[in-house]
Chains A and B, each alone.
Chain A
Amino acid sequence: MPMPSFDAIVIGGGTNGLACAARLQKSGRRVLVLESGAEPGGAALGREFAPGYRAPGLAHLVTTIDARVEREMDLGRHGLSYAGLSLPSTLVAPDGDHLLLEGEAGERVAGLSEAERLAWSELRGQLMRFAGVLAPFKEMTPPRIAAGAGNEYMKLGKLGFGIRRLGKDDFREFLRMLLINVYDVLNDDLTDPRLKGILAHDAVLGTWLGPRSPNSLIHLLNRLAGQVAGRRAAVALPKGGMGAVASAMAKAAEAQGVTIRTGARVAAILVEDDRAVGVTLADGEELRAKTVVSAINPKTTFLSLVGPRHLDTGFVNRVRAMKSRGGAAKLHLALKGAPDFRGADLRTRLVLAPSETAVELSFNAVKYGEVPERPVMEVILPSAHEGGHAPDGHHILSAIVQFAPHAPKAGPDVARQEMLARSLAVLEDHAPGLRALVEHAELLMPYDIEARYGMVGGNWHHGELSVEQMLFLRPFAGTSQYATPLSDLWLAGAGCHPGGGISGAAGWNAAERIIRGTGR
């Protein structure tokens, strides 16, 4: 049976690929999504990692879903709902003197001194105002500093006005703080190491930065600028596990008319007359379409699928130089009983980061390709919220452990073992007896994440989300706004503005840009 013809082919059925496909289909194009895995969803997909235990894949919480994606793909109707939108966080102290942060971005914190509570309230308010100014940039094509760049000047003008509306004092503080490090900001205003620990931890989650690295504050602002179902600075847990997001997006895209082909690994992008005209699959099948969109890694797209011979040398140099180091490892533990984090509520997000210095120290090791002595981590127990994740009475523990070297000196297997042993030691300190409950353990190091999810260097954002690779510098200087040097080839993945997470924003923005035309 011949394949029906399509107007657009989207490579990669992750959240960005699905969002892009749905938007393009809505514009009247017939869209085909090619996903190499057995089901769409990419890093948002859950999977059974041990008999009877279902682990979230890579992401285990949702901190942002693009509002347009939520609304126009009608994810709620396609089965997405949440066990909680603002999951409380517990900073787990080894001595049991925990902090409990509740509400949007720790609006209420139990366990702080009165002075510290006031200081935090003031700092939090300021950070939320700054985040509010930055949030709208996520939902647009990043502006370029060039004449005739086709910028959305009306929108930009409005955003500029929004920044001015901060008022004189806040505006000055905004400019002062935008590019500085989170460690200094925390130490300017706060004293409680536990509070500074969790904030520093959250700021550098998924980055290749320590709290004292330049520009680390902007990551905290970026996190606070996220939203889920209208809730700002959300920390949301989907009902049915993370897979629910992926499956709702896939269903929504299919309901829109998008065709999703799984098990279809793209081997090359077909180039004729300097245009992308289709793709070749690993089995040799050729598929053609007027528009080709790559929602996978930009490095892989250019260096493997397109290939250097269709690109300029300087451009290839910039692709190769794009920074893409991952520092986060993913830990899954199958537990035969509930662990006890010295009384902490297992239905909260558990953060094991005793101080901002502890976070920085754990980053120090990876700079030299080593495993940190005392990794810091974010722990979720999906099985504490609802059934279906683990056999009755058993639990599944999912943790993002930082920092893990992406190119360890000791070699991948030794480093993985070392990282697992040290992570378990940290967990044991915070939850005595946990180690005895472990039936099965799985640790994905950055290089394992690269192998499984195609994230170069194991970086969640498919290219480090750092100031020099943001906005019009994303994925890299000279290439932005989702366009590529090849006509009819577009980028839509997390490697583009505004970066990763499972929000679908990059995919949606890319589709809007494609619909608007090249403008050049």
Chain B
Amino acid sequence: MKAEKPMQPDPRQHYLTPLRQTTFHPRTAAANRLNSWGPWGGYTTVLEYDDLAMEHSAIRNAATVYDLCPMVKYRVRGPEAAAYLNRLTVRNAAKLPVGAVHYTIWCDDAGHIIDDGTLFRLGEADFRICCQERHLPWLLDSAFGFEVSVAEETEEIAALSLQGPCSFAVLKAAGFDVAALKPFRMATFGFDGGELMISRTGFTGDLGYELWIAPDHALALWDCLFEAGAPWGLRPIGTQALDLARTEAGFIITNLDFVPAHQAVREDRVRSPFEMSLDWMIDWNKGHFTGRRALLAERERGSRWAFVGLDIDGNVSAEHAIVYHDRKREVGQITAACWSPTLKRNIALAHLERPYHAGKSDNLWVEVYAMRELQYVKLMLRAKVCDRPFFNPDRRRATPPGPF
């Protein structure tokens, strides 16, 4: 099967098309019955194909495909790649085995988070960083003094996220045996005369995989998956369904749940790993990394903010609501919220000023303005700090995955 090339606009007329099309555009456009598009990292991507409830339901009950092409990718290669990444990120990259992936973050000198992402170790001295925002200048500056090369390769790799309890079965039917593949591990397969890399990673908190392939073979991969996946009701999902799923999983998104240190204009908007509950990743013993001294000082001094999950009364979603203590004192802000179709709970992710995240968390309220026929109805809803992730099924981790 020969893949059709997606149509890219004439570069001289870039102003006519401020958003680029992803490799999968011919397929996503054909499936986008609502014609619902949104910008993501300079590309136009689908927000909702035909029915948000059905798309979300497929993530939790069947199998789904999400176009991941706009995810920014950097390749880090060289004899000092691991040392470089250890200085760049807070986690220990040297401990990451070849063929494995870990979630990580990197900070500026002040210990404020620049971005989070996943780090793939493709070889002893060969890594890939996948993240939300663009950071080439910072990555290159950080390379000064290291024997390492850093290059952006976003355009060179097309990526699909295959998520849902039946995703393993779909891959098997498509001819890819990933039974032995554990979470956060990857494997490669021959496909269409090229190479397909499959990692057991994802952003839904469910069983799932991410598929990485050269753009020339991308459409063939899409077609192959949909042909094999039809019996399991495989369907494409848009960003809105993914956002519901990731909120249930308690995952954060850069620029939605925190403002990256290099973009924040207001000096109190930046957040440290302690303030985003990501300090568990910090390896204090691996040697120096950017921000370490500031973070040590913060560990001594204490942090101002905490990042928590909230369980809220009722079923009205509390997106972007202000959180109050004792109905009066503003103590925080919700960054993501939904009424969870899977859990039948009204959940949210929130920044809370300490100690309202723990010691004084017994009297929290969120102020919700619900638009009801052109009028706001103001609700004061009781909120309780609760554990994240909200949704964390065993099938996500089972190896080999269950036959759904």
Contact = CB atoms under 8 A, between A and B. Distances in A.
Q: Do A and B come from one complex?
A: yes
Interface of A: 274, 303, 307-317, 320, 485
B404 interface: no
B141 interface: yes
Given A274-B288, A316-B144, A316-B145, A309 B87 contact: yes
B293 A274 contact: yes
Contacts of B83: 309
B142 interface: yes
Contacts of B108: 312-314
Contacts of B145: 303, 307-309, 316
A485 B145 CA distance: 18
Contact of A320 (B87, B144, B288): B144
Nearest to B108: A314
B88 interface: yes
A19 to B, nearest CB: 29
B291 to A, nearest CB: 6
B291 A312 contact: yes
A317 B109 CA distance: 11
Of A312, A313, A314, the most chain B CB neighbours within 10 A belong to: A313
Given A309-B83, A309-B146, A309-B287, A316 B293 contact: no
A313 B141 contact: yes
Contacts, number: 42
Q: Which 4 A-B pairs have the closest CB atoms?
A: A308-B145, A314-B109, A312-B109, A312-B290
A223 B138 CA distance: 40
Interface in B52-90: 83, 87-88
Nearest to B139: A313
B283 to A, nearest CB: 14
A313 B88 contact: yes
A308 B293 contact: no
Interface string B271-290: 00000000000000001101
Nearest to B88: A313
Given A313-B290, A485-B293, A308 B144 contact: yes
A315 to B, nearest CB: 6
A315 B146 contact: no
A320 B140 CA distance: 13
Contacts of B88: 313
Contact of B288 (A303, A310, A314): A310
A274 B295 CA distance: 13
A315 B109 contact: yes
Contacts of A315: 109
B144 A309 contact: no
A486 B141 CA distance: 20
A308 B142 CA distance: 8
Nearest to B142: A313
Nearest to B291: A312
A481 B144 CA distance: 26
A307 B146 CA distance: 10
Given A309-B83, A309-B87, A314 B144 contact: no
A307 B145 CA distance: 7
A311 B287 CA distance: 11
Nearest to A317: B141
A309 B290 contact: no
Contacts of A309: 83, 87, 145-146, 287-288
Contacts of B292: 274, 312
Contacts of B144: 308, 313, 316, 320
A483 to B, nearest CB: 12
B290 to A, nearest CB: 4
B293 A314 contact: no
A196 B382 CA distance: 78
A324 B295 CA distance: 32
Contacts of A314: 108-109, 290
Contacts of A307: 145
A485 B294 CA distance: 10
A310 to B, nearest CB: 5
Nearest to A487: B293
A280 to B, nearest CB: 17
B186 to A, nearest CB: 28
Contacts of A274: 288, 292-293
Given A310-B288, A312-B109, A312-B291, 15 more contacts: A274-B292, A307-B145, A308-B87, A309-B287, A312-B108, A312-B290, A312-B292, A312-B293, A313-B88, A314-B109, A315-B109, A316-B141, A316-B144, A316-B145, A317-B141
B62 to A, nearest CB: 44
B146 A308 contact: yes
14 contacts: A274-B292, A308-B87, A309-B145, A310-B288, A312-B109, A312-B290, A313-B88, A313-B138, A313-B141, A313-B142, A314-B290, A315-B109, A316-B141, A316-B145
B139 to A, nearest CB: 9
Nearest to A316: B144
A376 B144 CA distance: 38
A314 B83 CA distance: 17
Interface string B76-108: 000000010001100000000000000000001
A309 B138 CA distance: 15
Contacts of B287: 309
B281 to A, nearest CB: 18
Contacts of B293: 274, 312, 485
A311 B288 contact: yes
A229 to B, nearest CB: 44
Contacts of A311: 288
A316 B133 CA distance: 23
Contacts of B138: 313
Interface in B104-163: 108-109, 138, 141-142, 144-146
A308 to B, nearest CB: 3
Contacts of B87: 308-309, 313
A303 B291 CA distance: 18
A379 to B, nearest CB: 42
A312 B288 CA distance: 8
Contacts of A308: 87, 144-146
Nearest to B140: A313
